[in-house]
Structure 1
Amino acid sequence: MNLGNFSVSLAVKDIHASRKFYEALGFTAFHDQSQHGWMILKNGDTVIGLFQGMFEKNMLCFNPGWDNNGQDIDPFTDVRELQRQLKARGITPVKEVDESTTGRGHCIVVDPDGNPILLDQHR
């Protein structure tokens, strides 16, 4: 099962203070949507997302159809197919993607320790 690009999505209180901190660690913002409360930063192959007011807690994130530069890849496994495969393996999403749709969509599963995992397809 190929889940796509991996990143850690951090629930932050102040996106500008967080950006300054992570830039001091060597990260560079490559997708800045801070006016909408989020941005994606990168340090080498490591990708993190900063999200202010969008999530209750930090989560693992996978982006089907994207590489670690946010560029489209083909072929890829659609999030709806990933959801079907997860259900077949006994993993029930807490938020499901509508399987009758196409394109963008997301689902969320939670691991046994309560850590949310977001499968977020942007195309």
Structure 2
Amino acid sequence: MSFEETMRLEHFTERSFQQQVLASEQVVLMYFWAPWCPEEYRGMDAWVERVTSRHADAVKGVKVDVEQEPVLAERYIIRAVPTLLVFKGGQMVDRAVGAMTRTAIRRMLEGHL
């Protein structure tokens, strides 16, 4: 697998949420975003991808477009994007709202490995 292939976040939908997030044996880092996010926040895509690929055996990175998945956005009270949620054992264990550095994302995630 090439570096490019390891850098892909899965795009999740409400339909796949139960199986792919809540039932996952891996820690899941869920990245809520929107196409209208300011350009300075779009860099988080790459940071989330790099952090999750670094721990690919233990972490799954997923990306959710709040416009395409309003049910998930409402369920987790997503009022601003970007928002990151960490799930472990089917439970949300951490939340961060707003732009974050790669180091901050890594620290957030590694606190739950």
**Which TM-score applies when normalising by structure 2?**
0.24
Whose strand proportion is higher, 1 or 2? 1
Instruction: Give the greater-gyration-radius structure (CA).
Output: 1
Higher RCO, Cα 8 Å, sep 6+: 2
